[in-house]
Amino acid sequence: MKELFLQNIPASIAVIGLVGYFFGMAIVFIANPLKNAESFSVKPVDNAGKTEIRVYYGGISFALGAFLLYLTFALHTPVYSLAGGLFFATTVFVTRTIFLFVDKGWKCPYTKLAIPAEGLFVVALWTCYILSKVLY
């Protein structure tokens, strides 16, 4: 396993970060969906909404992290997992940025945190991707 991650260090660092992020999100939203969803400006109208928060924010986050790990081990390289993570993170960031203006959500506390945090995350992932191609 050590050799797998040492074959492309920038991609490995990015994949470890992505998997940590997704597993962390899964734990947070499965364990305490209402409190954490409210910090994301999401509030369910009933108990089925609470389940949906656990499923979509928690369950899908876990599945994405697990899939990136599976992809890394199945293909014996972290590069494709990094590419998948780039698709996800870049799409979320671009979509959030576009609809920030459409929905006029730029004054919301969560947006003020999400835009710079996601922007830095996307830049870090792209940097790792470029380094993984240039150095390896």
In percent, the amount of the chain with pLDDT more than 70 equals 100
Q: Does this model's pTM top 0.85?
A: yes
Which residues 6+ apart lie within 8 Å of 118 measured at CB? 89, 92, 93, 96
Query: Could you give the residue ranges of the DSSP H alpha helices within the chain?
Result: 2-6, 9-31, 33-39, 47-52, 60-75, 79-102, 109-135
Tell me the two tokens of residue 123: 């830049």
pLDDT digits (tens, 9 = 90+) for 61-112: 999 999 999 999 999 999 999 999 999 999 999 999 999 999 998 888 889 9
Give the number of domains in the chain. 1
Its domain, for residue 26, covers 2-135
